[in-house]
Amino acid sequence: MHTVLNRGNAIVAYTLSVLACLTFCCFASTVFLDYGTQTDIQTVKVLVKNVPDYAASREHHDLGFLTFDLQANLTGLFNWNVKQLFLYLTAEYETKNNKLNQVVLWDKIIMRGENSVLKLKNMNTKYYFFDDGNGLKNNRNVTLTLSYNIIPNAGILPSFFGTGAHSFKFPAEYAVSPVQK
């Protein structure tokens, strides 16, 4: 006859197998859904300054300042398998030194149940827009893109780009702060 330990082991193994199957069904039911959304990004104010690099005291590098407007309706991204969204605004540009530069300027986490309609006006960047040289001044092709990761209850962690990227240019002259005058 089977002992209590053998029967307990069989019950636990069967329960874990059923839970693993249910978790896979949860993942499979939402893996092929379209998670694309329309975004509208506009720049309001764009400045570039030439600031000293504190690691190398003699060099100066470009530091970009910008404010932006962002509108996006993300309610269609939430379903029963989405726990939260991790949004981030990136800037991509090309310089003489590097073919592709990518900088994260702003991010936000939206939990399920929170307001997922974004109508942001005159937002400052959360992180510095610092170039490793002088590639921002008079750069005519900087592209802002809203990207997001969907954090699911079960399954893979996909990354998507919102449609509606915005391109802008930096001024040809450095902005002068009152201290530098």
> How many Å apart are CA 127 and CA 70, to the nearest integer?
16
For residue range 12-32, list pLDDT tens digits in order: 999 999 999 998 988 888 888
Residue 5 backbone phi and psi in degrees, to 5: -65, -40
At residue 20, what is the residue type? A
For residue range 161-179, list pLDDT tens digits in order: 888 899 999 998 888 766 5
For residue range 45-95, list pLDDT tens digits in order: 999 998 887 766 678 888 999 999 999 999 999 998 999 999 999 999 998
pLDDT cut 70: percent of the chain above it: 95
Q: What is the pTM of this model?
A: 0.83
Q: Which residue has the higher pLDDT, 181 or 21?
A: 21
